[in-house]
Amino acid sequence: MLIAVIVACEVAFWLLLAAGLLARYPLRLPRVGAILLLLVPTVDLVLLAATTIDLRRGGTATAAHGLAAAYLGFSVAFGHRMVRWADVRFAHRFAGGPPPTRAPQYGPERTRHEWREWGRGLLAWAVACALLLAGIALVGDAERTQQLWGWIGQLSLAMVIWLVFWPLAYTVFPKREPRRPASAAGPEG
């Protein structure tokens, strides 16, 4: 049942986001669009409530509870950014806004970008782990919460892998801009 709630919340997130942006730009109803976009975080509250209710009613923690915590952590850390990402693109496409800026591709700017993204991931990890620990404390039964401990380990491993292969890799081996061939049309003499 909780998997269905997670899927419904993900669908609701994208539907509210799309409806808010469609109202804001093509339909030119900025207030309606703002209200719809403000409703996006309520999706997280619904998922949090469903997860808490399930655990409080004596449910055994499953992978779905861990997934819900990971989803909520990701949503807290990256949700606003995802809304902004979509908003900039809609504004450019439908309201003559400036084109979206791309993430830096090379040099120290790219390295800083990778560290910022990992920092957001670290926030997502912290929120998810705090929710998992809260679920463990709420249930108070080690047998019923074994899955939640496993999720803490898996999320931690994912953060270490992300750290090693992106921020640290770009710090130690910064990606350099490719060399451009010298102009063939030089002075003849």
Does position 187 have pLDDT exceeding 70, yes or no? Answer: no
Does position 165 have pLDDT exceeding 80, yes or no? Answer: yes
How does pLDDT run across 39-95, given as a tens digit for each residue? 999 999 999 999 999 999 998 999 999 999 999 999 999 999 999 999 999 999 999
How does pLDDT run across 86-125, given as a tens digit for each residue? 999 999 999 999 999 999 999 999 999 999 999 999 999 9
Does position 184 have pLDDT exceeding 80, yes or no? Answer: no
Share above pLDDT 90 across residues of the chain, in percent, rounded to a whole number: 90
pTM of the model: 0.90
Does position 148 have pLDDT exceeding 60, yes or no? Answer: yes
How does pLDDT run across 8-31, given as a tens digit for each residue? 999 999 999 999 999 999 999 999
**What single string gives the DSSP state of each residue in the chain?**
-HHHHHHHHHHHHHHHHHHHHHHHTTS--HHHHHHHHHTTTHHHHHHHHHHHHHHHTTPPP-HHHHHHHHHHHHHHHHHHHHHHHHHHHHHHHHH-PPPPPPPP-SHHHHHHHHHHHHHHHHHHHHHHHHHHHHHHHHH--TTTTHHHHHHHHHHHHHHHHHHIIIIIHHHHSPPPPPPPPPPS-PPP-
Does position 172 have pLDDT exceeding 50, yes or no? Answer: yes
Does position 182 have pLDDT exceeding 80, yes or no? Answer: no
Does position 189 have pLDDT exceeding 50, yes or no? Answer: no
